Structure 1
Amino acid sequence: MADARNAGGVQSVERVFDLLSIITASGGESSLSELAARAGLPLPTIHRLLRTLVPLGYVRQLPNRSYALGPGLIRLGNAAGLQLGTHAQPVLQELVDELGESANLAVLDGRMVVYVGQAQSSHSMRMFTEVGRRAHMHDTGVGKAILATLPEEQVVSIVTSMGLPTPTEKSLGTVEELLADLERIRERGYAVDDEEQEIGVRCFSVALPQAPTPTAISVSGPTSRVDWEFGERAVPLLQRAAQQLSVQLSRAG
């Protein structure tokens, strides 16, 4: 990872972010030798960088001598998520204005999703989802939209560790059911939470293409208003919004 560089960048900073990315991609834990091999750097260099990151709380050493992401990143991640939600607010509000239902933005947070942005419907019956709430991935529209963009082994790892609770009779309760649903999502280009998290509530969701972190946008509301005809109108608008946000994030990056 260390060979493709921005000519104006600071090498040590680039290497630090390489290490954090490698640990993340490895499922949250990497040994010193694994980090050196994947980063293409000598062990002394890796060790020197880790000696800086560990006291700052951005990396922690586990009892088995491997390294994991540290709690210092949580504060940064929360702040970045809130800023992302603020950045997306005009796009979310436009969806509400066009469709009349609540719109949400969520990102992958470890092995769950966290809602980082929202524009509320003016209807008296609204979704109970709020900014900052974390939720399982297999029974939410945003969660399934994100899962459909991940490798199957990562999907299985997530749901195996978190379990597959079934809050309603329509929730997916097995890995096989989930994988089959994710295949349908990839084929049609959007996810549906069809009363899987809450009876009487339906959600349509689309993942942001090429987002810097796995992200999805959704519209949701009561099934009496959010029916399949609504979905036919909503999906193209969601796809447009997802593309718009993806371009904005790329420019910001």
Structure 2
Amino acid sequence: MIGSVQRALRLLEAVGSHVDGAPAKQLAREAGLPLPTAYHLLRTLTHEGYLRRENGVFVYGPAAERLAGGGALQKRRTTIVDSLSHWRDAIGVPVYFGIYREGEIELVAVSDTPEAPAVEEWAGFRETGHAHAIGQCLLSQLDEKARKDHLDRHPVRPLTRNSVRDRATLLERLASMERMQPVVEREQYALGTVCAAIPITAGSAAATMAISLPAHQADRLRPAVEQLRSEVGTLLHTLAFSISI
């Protein structure tokens, strides 16, 4: 093992044990390091942004905060996937969770199995929201200005023979959707696949959960999405995490 890395990590742990920071001498003592070694490592960690010195004490810097944030992000995503996996197993379909954030469609998590695989992303989900249930559900929750801005950046283009053909037709379809009702898409994004999405109220952002099935099992789509919709309230606390990450 690399000794300098171990010593630097001990210093970072020592800094983390003090809410208001600590001076170099105290950190050296707590990390069990000679003072000259501690000074050298503290300068290096400060230069790299892992620490910063304020009024004679060392506290975590932006690089360390980014590391902590990344860990929290991964934990939240894992929690979301675990929740989706429950419904994947209960309903027997792939389950997706997406949000609309900073002007873009983001697929946060997917849970599927080899026996019930998710739809292959052959054309970027972000750019083709007009053609899949997740995107249509998210776009339907936006106000008119935000919706048109999105379509200016990501123009409507048919992906299959069943896709919405043009912008006007899509806008008309979105305007006609009933609030909080499932959005169903049949082979608009990928031939051989049908999908349904339900809008989610989790914070102020537009969000959705969705499922997909092979086209030959299309008769299962409505019952499956209704089952998901009837019980999704139990997941809202978990899904709301993703709005803040």
TM-score (norm 2): 0.60
Secondary structure at 1:208's aligned position in 2?
strand
Native 8 Å contact 1:100 1:122 kept in 2: no
Q: Are 1:237 and 2:193 matched, yes or no?
A: no
How large is the Cα RMSD of the aligned pairs? 3.5
Q: Deviation per CA, 1:109-166, whole angstroms, max 9, x where unpaired? A: 4443222211113426652149x96442111111111111111221111112211121
Of 153, 161, 168, 2:145 maps to: 153
Q: Where do 1:53-68 residues align within 5 Å?
A: none
Determine the C-alpha separation between the residues in 2 that align with 1:145 and 1:136: 13
Native 8 Å contact 1:192 1:204 kept in 2: yes
Q: Deviation per CA, 1:170-197, whole angstroms, max 9, x where unpaired? A: 1113222112222343257011221111
Q: Number of matched residues?
A: 178
Letter of the structure 2 residue corresponding to residue 210 of structure 1? A
Q: Are 1:198 and 2:204 matched, yes or no?
A: no
Q: Deviation per CA, 1:55-110, whole angstroms, max 9, x where unpaired? A: xxxxxxxxxxxxxxxxxxxx999987755432222331122212222111112244
Determine the C-alpha separation between the residues in 2 that align with 1:159 and 1:82: 31
Structure 1 pair 152–168 and aligned structure 2 pair: CA distance change class (3 A): same
Secondary structure at 2:105's aligned position in 1?
strand
Q: Are 1:167 and 2:159 matched, yes or no?
A: yes
Q: Deviation per CA, 1:194-215, whole angstroms, max 9, x where unpaired? A: 1111111111111211335322
Larger Rg: 2
Structure 1 pair 212–84 and aligned structure 2 pair: CA distance change class (3 A): farther
Between the two proteins, what is the percent identity of the paired residues? 17
Letter of the structure 1 residue corresponding to residue 85 of structure 2? Q
Q: Are 1:142 and 2:159 matched, yes or no?
A: no
Q: Are 1:120 and 2:112 matched, yes or no?
A: yes
Native 8 Å contact 2:94 2:111 kept in 1: yes
Secondary structure at 2:209's aligned position in 1?
strand
Determine the C-alpha separation between the residues in 1 that align with 2:222 and 2:175: 19
Secondary structure at 1:186's aligned position in 2?
coil
